Amino acid sequence: MCIYSTMVEHFVNSAFTQTGYGCFLGVKSAVRYSRGLSKNAIRKFEKYKSVPKQFFLCLNEIGLIDDDSVPKHCVNINEVKTILGRAGFREGLTREEYFDLGLHKQDGTQKHIWHKIIDYMRHLKYVKKPR
């Protein structure tokens, strides 16, 4: 499983918690946008790995991507790699290299997200969906 699909899965699972889930733990906008997902959007992600538009709206509000990168409809995982790749993200980087790209915000929200993503990818077998 690639880091992008894990990130989207954590976004979808944030709808079922009060404070977020996984790499979106403590990110209020992720909880707000993920709760706006319909049941069909969640099913489409689980069955076809179709990423909902709300995921990109959340990343836009956090400041990870710009307004032009937000798609008009749901996309697949390969297009997520392309969109985030244009913003400067690459899969093989370490956590420190992500921060050296200068993509994190001043309040540390993005730094918190990538810190959690890399740590959860290392310990993926211990991550379980919320009940």
pLDDT at 122: 61
Q: Are the CB atoms for 1 and 124 separated by under 8 Å?
A: yes
Q: How far is CA 105 from CA 64, 101, 128, 131, in A?
A: 8, 11, 29, 32
Q: What is the H or E stretch that residue 33 is in? A: helix 28-35
Give every residue of the chain whose pLDDT is below 50, as ranges. 95, 98-107
Instruction: Please report, for the chain, how many H helices and E strands are present, in that order.
Output: 7, 2
pLDDT digits (tens, 9 = 90+) for 70-95: 888 889 888 888 888 787 776 665 54
**Helix or strand or coil: residue 9?**
helix
